[in-house]
Structure 1
Amino acid sequence: MEQIETEDGERLATTIYEQDTDNRVLLIVAAVGVPRSYYRYIAQFFQDRHYSVLCFDYRGIGDSKPVHNSNRCSMQNWGHYDLEAAITFCQQRFSGKAIYVLGHSIAGQLLPLAESKHLVKRAYFVASQNVAARYWSGYYRLKVNLLWYLILPVFNQLFNGLPGPIYGGKEKLPKLVAREWGIGGRSRNGMPDYVENGHHKYRETAVPVKFISFSDDNLLSPQRASAALCGSYGSSEKVHQHLDPADFNLKEIGHFGFFRDGMQNLWADIEKWFSQT
């Protein structure tokens, strides 16, 4: 297992799918609490299509633990340091190859925090959202407010981190990560409100970007929340598309289904977006 080192001294676990026959590299950026192995099917799909692919675990997640400094294991540092390290690693390891980003959920919030985001040629985000509760409605707003204001603070304190079953994730979240996640949910504008110069970082993000959301993902990434995150980018070329599983003859996609084996008919749109000039 190869590791990459962040500027502040953490070591991140990676999986690299090498491809020498083309000049493209795909960086896959994970959802909250999801280990990199979850993305193996789509990584292999793009390797077969002549992309070199890098998957990595954020600090405190998967094989990137234990962390060197738990006081720096925060959500914003996933962007400032971890994603930044992954982008610069791609630039150095795959010199001369165009860098593309495929992100899931939280990834769309993190890209603006990476100083080297300008090195990314195009980005595609799946079920990424602004987590501010005002973008949810009705029953789903009630549920996320219960998470942000009651469940997350209580369980995060009790367990020194947020257990996966509490938030619907794959593994326990580090305490500071969960704390910042909750701050974003309780704020008016999500992550840009609590990150230093956050609104500026989003506005200066000029990467051409496409966001997709799904009609059966109302609890974790409703249409308004995904559209709001897309709108916060400064990119002159940005698209948000809301999709229905029935359009693909599927019963469900939800928040996690897009990356599962057998979803190859959905993945062609990613390559189509990346191929635009």
Structure 2
Amino acid sequence: MAEPVLDDVFGDDITVPATDGYPLAATLFLPRGAKRHAVLINSATAVPRRLYRGFAGYLAMRGCAVLTYDYRGTGDSRQQAPTGHNQPKSLVGFQASMSDWAALDVTAAVGWMRERYKTLPFAYVGHSFGGQALGLLPNNSEIARALLIAAQAGYWKLMTAPERYRVYAMLNFVGRPLTRMFGYMPGKAGLGMDLPKDAFLQWAGWVMSPRYLFDDAKLDSLKNFPKYRGALRALCMADDPWATRPAVELLCSGFTSIKPEIITVTPADTGASKIGHMGFFRPEHRDTLWCGAAEWIQAGE
């Protein structure tokens, strides 16, 4: 049964099958009244879907059917241990790369929403990796509007100092050795969430490459970037040390069939002291960033 999230919104925890049948934990947010738009929210790396609960509920309150979900091996989409109460299964030996997340999980979530809400205008919200994944999807032509939030080609030298040096050290001197030692990346080492081995190592390789994922010769799904022909707006937070303006521009340069709109937002624009890489989704931005995002999403008919 759906549980009330806000006065006019219901949230229902469901399972969405990935393209290979893997069960993805998801939450569907629905308005009490008529549904006028469909929105899919795609998470950043090592970020559980619950971070997006407030924003998803806000969009639903405005008449959107909204889906959030966890990538395989993360959050509630991590398999449970056969013994113990509500204990996650070890990620040792679990096969999942970031390109798998895009090809198997994000692709399926897009397809699920299009099939369920085929008569509604459909928008894609991508935070960080969620925005990067848009270009990798074989079915991204199904998306009419895409709002990228702090989504970037995350080459370490495009980050601001001193964060770039912290990231370089964390990936190369901590993350890679620990991942090879344990068979997965322990979240306690700096990311906050355990990650599958292949996902972490692929990501680390991209971060070390000047053109990020565009330098990955094995990434055949790069051919899907030009397939996206919908509207695209990318929000760049001026105080975000990861998704800097040059990094956002580099990612957007991959969408060669369109002219993405890139908007830089400063904390002063919202009356806040900081926004950063994660701050867009804080409830304090409900009447500023959230309102503007919703208006743009719902401008598509």
**What is the TM-score with the length of structure 2 in the denominator?**
0.84
Q: Is the 8 A contact 1:35 1:170 kept in 2?
A: no
| Among 280, 283, 291, the residue aligned to 1:258 | 280
Identity %: 26
Tell me which residue corresponds to 2:75: 62
Greater Rg over alpha carbons, structure: 2
* Superposed displacement of residue 165, structure 1: 4.1
Tell me which residue corresponds to 2:45: 32
Distance 2:35 2:78 in 1: 33
Q: Amino acid of the residue matched to residue 23 of structure 2? A: R
Tell me which residue corresponds to 2:234: 211
**27 and 88 in structure 1: CA distance in 2 versus 1, 3 angstrom threshold:** same
1:245 matched to 2:257? The reply is no
Distance 1:162 1:72 in 2: 13
**48 and 126 in structure 1: CA distance in 2 versus 1, 3 angstrom threshold:** same
Distance 1:39 1:136 in 2: 24
| Among 36, 41, 53, the residue aligned to 1:23 | 36
Q: Amino acid of the residue matched to residue 45 of structure 1? A: Y
* Superposed displacement of residue 217, structure 1: 1.4
Which one has a larger percent helix, Structure 1 or Structure 2? 1
Tell me which residue corresponds to 2:206: 184
Tell me which residue corresponds to 2:7: none
Query: What runs of 5+ residues in structure 2 fail to find an aligned partner?
Result: 1-12, 81-88
Q: Is the 8 A contact 1:60 1:173 kept in 2?
A: yes
1:197 matched to 2:210? The reply is no
Q: Is the 8 A contact 2:178 2:185 kept in 1?
A: yes
Q: Is the 8 A contact 2:136 2:222 kept in 1?
A: no
Tell me which residue corresponds to 1:135: 158
Q: Is the 8 A contact 1:81 1:114 kept in 2?
A: no
**242 and 159 in structure 1: CA distance in 2 versus 1, 3 angstrom threshold:** farther
* Superposed displacement of residue 57, structure 1: 0.6
Which segment drifts farther, 158-167 or 49-58?
158-167
Q: Amino acid of the residue matched to residue 220 of structure 2? A: N
Distance 2:259 2:249 in 1: 14
Tell me which residue corresponds to 1:49: 62
Which segment drifts farther, 194-203 or 114-123?
194-203
* Superposed displacement of residue 189, structure 1: 1.5
Which segment drifts farther, 198-207 or 78-87?
198-207
Q: Is the 8 A contact 2:138 2:221 kept in 1?
A: no
The alignment covers a number of residue pairs equal to 275
Tell me which residue corresponds to 1:108: 131
Q: Is the 8 A contact 2:95 2:196 kept in 1?
A: no
**240 and 166 in structure 1: CA distance in 2 versus 1, 3 angstrom threshold:** farther
**What CA RMSD, in Å, does the superposition of the two structures yield over aligned residues?**
2.1
Distance 2:245 2:205 in 1: 21
Distance 1:52 1:104 in 2: 18
**What is the TM-score with the length of structure 1 in the denominator?**
0.91
Q: Is the 8 A contact 2:125 2:131 kept in 1?
A: no
Tell me which residue corresponds to 2:121: 98
Q: Amino acid of the residue matched to residue 271 of structure 1? A: A
Which segment drifts farther, 25-34 or 200-209?
200-209
Report Cα offsets for 1:117-162 as digits up to 9, x if no partner: 1111101111111022232354333233223332221122233322
